[in-house]
């Protein structure tokens, strides 16, 4: 099995995991945000994190992206330990935050060039890669427009494109389709699916059940900071999830 890390392919054992999370905990000012979260993601797998608002999805993703320091627990990335202080390892992660995170004063192309450079994409391949991502995310027609004049849907696509520019091995997506029309949503989901087909491990957080059902192979259900269920999407009755979301995790 091969997986990509920043434009290079590294060989992994066939049963190797892209991401392993064990006993992850985080609290803010004494209030528990997430507790004892454990799961793993295989190369090329689409793994869904499903839960209502406040379930702890974003907190988990921020810890996995290295933005937030866990109180306890361990993360292994491509078989190696990953901590809040790891720097070089972050190059293999593509992080797409829930809120739009782009420079509105820069053009679409300049945004991509900046983040590509920041992730160490060499100059001689960056231009080509920018064109690829523009094509992939349907942004070619607005490549030289300032991000601030883009429509909401285009901004979402750019938000996703910025996470893809350096060809990450692991893509962490935090509700990437919030606030965009149906057509754009379909395109975004297609892009994510194509990334997984190319061997990218995708961690997809959302509270939209239908997206999880359409996209993910395995799903973890979160409620009030606890992982209440983890299952294969293909042989599960999604209607049962409502019980998980309505029940208190402490009773399970």
Partner 1 sequence: MRAWQIVRKDLVILLRDRRALITLLILPIVFIAILGLTTGQILTGRSTNRLRLTLVDQNRSSLAQQVIQEISKDPRIEVELEESVTAAEDRIGQGASTAAVIIGEGFSRKAAEIQLIDLLEIPDRRLAEGLGSLDVQVRSKTTLPLTRAAISQLVFLKTLQVLARYVTSRLPLVKAYIDAHPQLAFEARPNSAAPEVNPYFSDLIASRSAVYLTLVPSYTVMFAFFLINFMARSFIGERTTGTLFRLKAAPVSNMVVITGKIVPFFLVAVVQGIILFAAGRLLFGMSWGVKPWMLLPVIVSTSLAVTALGLLTGALVRSEVQVVAYGTFLVVVLAGISGCLMPRDWMPPTMQKVSLVTPHAWALLAYDQLLTTERPDLALVALSCAVLVGFAALFFAAGLICFRRLRRNSNVSF
Kindly list the residues in this chain that would bind partner 1 in the complex (CB under 8 A). 62, 65-68, 87-91, 93, 95, 97, 99-106, 110, 114-115, 117-120, 162
- Closer residue to partner 1, CB minimum distance, 107 or 191: 107
Q: How far is the CB of 4 from partner 1 (least distance, A)?
A: 15
Q: How far is the CB of 85 from partner 1 (least distance, A)?
A: 9
The upper half-sphere exposure of residue 23, i.e. CA atoms within 13 Å in the direction of its Cβ, equals 4
Nearest of 26, 32, 131 to residue 71 by alpha carbon: 26
- Closer residue to partner 1, CB minimum distance, 37 or 241: 37
Residue 155 in tokens: 């901004």
Rounded Cα distance, 174 and 152, in Å: 17
Q: How far is the CB of 20 from partner 1 (least distance, A)?
A: 19
Q: How far is the CB of 34 from partner 1 (least distance, A)?
A: 13
Rounded Cα distance, 154 and 107, in Å: 12
- Closer residue to partner 1, CB minimum distance, 1 or 67: 67
- Cα Rg, the chain, nearest whole Å: 18
Q: How far is the CB of 16 from partner 1 (least distance, A)?
A: 21
Task: Tell me whether strands 93-96 and 170-174 are parallel, antiparallel or unpaired.
Answer: parallel
- Closer residue to partner 1, CB minimum distance, 43 or 163: 163
> Helices 182-197 and 152-164 sit at what angle, rounded to 10 degrees?
10
- Closer residue to partner 1, CB minimum distance, 91 or 228: 91
């Amino acid at each position: 099995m091969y997986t990509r890390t920043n434009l290079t392919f590294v060989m992994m054992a066939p049963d190797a995991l892209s991401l392993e999370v064990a006993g992850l905990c985080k609290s803010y000012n004494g209030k528990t945000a997430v507790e004892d979260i454990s799961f793993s993601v295989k190369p090329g797998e689409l793994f869904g994190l499903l839960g209502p608002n406040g379930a702890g999805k974003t907190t988990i993703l921020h810890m996995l992206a290295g933005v937030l320091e866990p109180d306890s627990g361990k993360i292994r990335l491509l078989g190696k330990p990953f901590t809040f202080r790891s720097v070089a390892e972050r190059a293999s992660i593509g992080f797409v935050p829930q809120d739009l995170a782009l420079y509105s004063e820069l053009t679409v192309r300049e945004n991509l060039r900046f983040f590509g450079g920041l992730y160490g994409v060499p100059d001689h391949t960056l231009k080509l890669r920018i064109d690829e991502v523009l094509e992939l995310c349907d942004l070619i027609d607005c490549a030289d427009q300032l991000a601030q004049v883009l429509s909401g849907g285009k901004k979402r696509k750019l938000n996703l494109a910025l996470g893809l520019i350096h060809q990450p091995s692991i893509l962490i997506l935090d509700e990437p389709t919030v606030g965009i029309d149906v057509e754009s949503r379909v395109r975004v989901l297609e892009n994510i699916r194509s990334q997984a087909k190319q061997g990218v491990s995708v961690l997809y957080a959302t509270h939209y059940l239908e997206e999880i059902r359409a996209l993910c192979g395995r799903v973890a259900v979160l409620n009030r900071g606890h992982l209440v269920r983890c299952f294969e999407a293909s042989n599960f009755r999604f209607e049962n999830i409502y019980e998980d979301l309505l029940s208190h995790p402490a009773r399970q």
